[in-house]
């Protein structure tokens, strides 16, 4: 069960992930799980050292958890990453009409009608601690995108709930819904991982497509067969079946 024990709310903060890591460094850290949320971030971070658009209206939150308290081990991290993406996807899908197509871009980017709406940044500041950051474009209008993001979003279009629904969504409700769904999926990691993987596979954009994946040590090309029990992508390549793992950013506290 993911019962939140500490909550911090900011009008503005550099990054909720960074604030959580700061809290974990304190001589008396907060009781975990700890949730940090903010109306806006001044230095929001995405995966791959990218800047995350974090203006007012977005859902911006980080959860600090201890692996053992969730009955998880480090071998479960890739599945946790997928579980968080799926929880975010379902939270969004639940608010949208059926004609809007929600999908997961492995490992955990959420797309609606081909445009990115949310993402997850999973960091591991100590072997036992995880900081799971999630950003969803909710009530932030695309007309207010700062100029430094325009080039990036032209290449990779994004969307937000308000652009689709034409009405604002209550962010505290979304946060509660996400946490509840995440709690169920964390449970599934140890009780029924096959079902979790199957649910991810069903909405995964890459499955059944030819992919080119850029890794630190080179490029792999192949046909995506699906996702294995560890949460890795299975690719059929000229050299046989290869698996691609998700990267979890490991940071010193
Ligand atoms: C991605 O798709 O690249 C992941 C984006 C994660 C953004 C969230 S917003 C809340 C938390 N704080 C951050 O600085 N980043 C994450």
Per cent of the chain over pLDDT 70 is: 97
Q: Which atom of ligand 1 is nearest to the CA of 43?
A: 14
Answer whether 17 contacts ligand 1 (Cβ < 6 A): yes
Residue 251 has pLDDT above 60, yes or no: no
Residue 144 has pLDDT above 80, yes or no: yes
pLDDT in tens, 194-216: 999 999 999 999 999 999 888 77
Answer whether 64 contacts ligand 1 (Cβ < 6 A): no
Contacts of 231 (CB under 8 A, 6+ apart): 78, 79, 81, 82, 107, 197, 200, 245, 246
Answer whether 60 contacts ligand 1 (Cβ < 6 A): yes
Cα 76 to chain centroid distance, Å, stands at 15
Cα of 78 to ligand 1 centre, how many Å?
17
Amino acid 201: pLDDT: 96
pLDDT band at 249 (very low <50, low <70, confident <90, very high): low
Answer whether 120 contacts ligand 1 (Cβ < 6 A): yes
Our CA angle for 41, 11, 83, nearest 5°, is: 55
Lowest-confidence pick of 50-64, 159-173, 215-229: 215-229
* Gap between the Cα atoms of 107 and 30, Å rounded: 29
Q: Which two tokens stand for residue 10?
A: 């900011």
Total number of residues shown for the chain: 253
Q: Which atom of ligand 1 is nearest to the CA of 48?
A: 3
Answer whether 123 contacts ligand 1 (Cβ < 6 A): no
Residue 253 has pLDDT above 80, yes or no: no
Greater confidence (32 vs 212) lies with: 32
Answer whether 121 contacts ligand 1 (Cβ < 6 A): yes
pLDDT band at 100 (very low <50, low <70, confident <90, very high): very high
Cα of 140 to ligand 1 centre, how many Å?
15
Residue 55 has pLDDT above 70, yes or no: yes
- Mean pLDDT, rounded, of the chain: 94
Amino acid 1: pLDDT: 78
Q: For the residues 107-119, what does the mean pLDDT come to?
A: 96
Domains of the chain and any CATH numbers: 6-202 (3.30.930.10), 210-251 (2.30.30)
Amino acid 220: pLDDT: 86
Amino acid 227: pLDDT: 96
pLDDT in tens, 227-241: 999 999 999 999 999
* Burial class (CB within 10 angstroms; exposed 0-12, middle 13-18, buried 19+) of 223: middle
Amino acid 218: pLDDT: 80
Q: Which atom of ligand 1 is nearest to the CA of 16?
A: 12
Contacts of 140 (CB under 8 A, 6+ apart): 53, 55, 56, 57, 58, 160, 162
Q: For residue 48, report the phi and psi dihedrals to the nearest 5 degrees.
A: 65, 35
Answer whether 131 contacts ligand 1 (Cβ < 6 A): no
Answer whether 247 contacts ligand 1 (Cβ < 6 A): no
Amino acid 95: pLDDT: 97
pLDDT band at 140 (very low <50, low <70, confident <90, very high): very high
Answer whether 46 contacts ligand 1 (Cβ < 6 A): yes
Cα of 35 to ligand 1 centre, how many Å?
14
pLDDT in tens, 71-95: 999 999 999 999 999 999 999 999 9
pTM attached to this predicted model: 0.95
Q: For the residues 28-42, what does the mean pLDDT come to?
A: 97
């Amino acid at each position: 069960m993911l019962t939140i024990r500490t909550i911090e709310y900011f009008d503005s903060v550099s990054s909720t992930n960074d604030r959580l890591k700061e809290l974990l460094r304190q001589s008396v850290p907060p009781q975990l799980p700890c949730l940090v949320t903010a109306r806006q971030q001044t230095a929001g971070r995405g995966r791959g050292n990218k800047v995350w658009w974090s203006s007012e209206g977005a859902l911006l939150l980080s959860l600090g958890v201890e692996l053992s308290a969730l009955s998880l081990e480090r071998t479960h991290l890739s599945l946790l990453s997928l579980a968080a993406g799926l929880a975010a996807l379902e939270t969004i899908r639940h608010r949208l009409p059926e004609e809007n197509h929600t999908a997961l871009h492995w490992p955990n980017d959420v797309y609606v009608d081909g445009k990115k709406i949310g993402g997850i940044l999973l960091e591991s500041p100590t072997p036992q601690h995880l900081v799971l950051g999630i950003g969803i474009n909710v009530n932030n209008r695309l007309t207010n995108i700062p100029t430094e993001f325009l080039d990036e979003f032209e290449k990779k279009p994004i969307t937000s709930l308000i652009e689709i629904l034409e009405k604002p969504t209550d962010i505290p409700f979304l946060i509660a819904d996400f946490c509840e769904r995440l709690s169920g999926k964390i449970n599934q990691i140890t009780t029924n991982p096959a079902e979790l993987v199957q649910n991810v596979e069903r909405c995964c954009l890459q499955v059944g497509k030819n992919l080119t994946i850029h890794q630190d040590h080179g490029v792999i090309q192949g046909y995506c067969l699906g996702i294995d029990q560890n949460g890795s992508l299975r690719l059929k390549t000229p050299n046989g079946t290869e698996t691609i793992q998700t990267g979890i950013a490991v940071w010193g506290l």
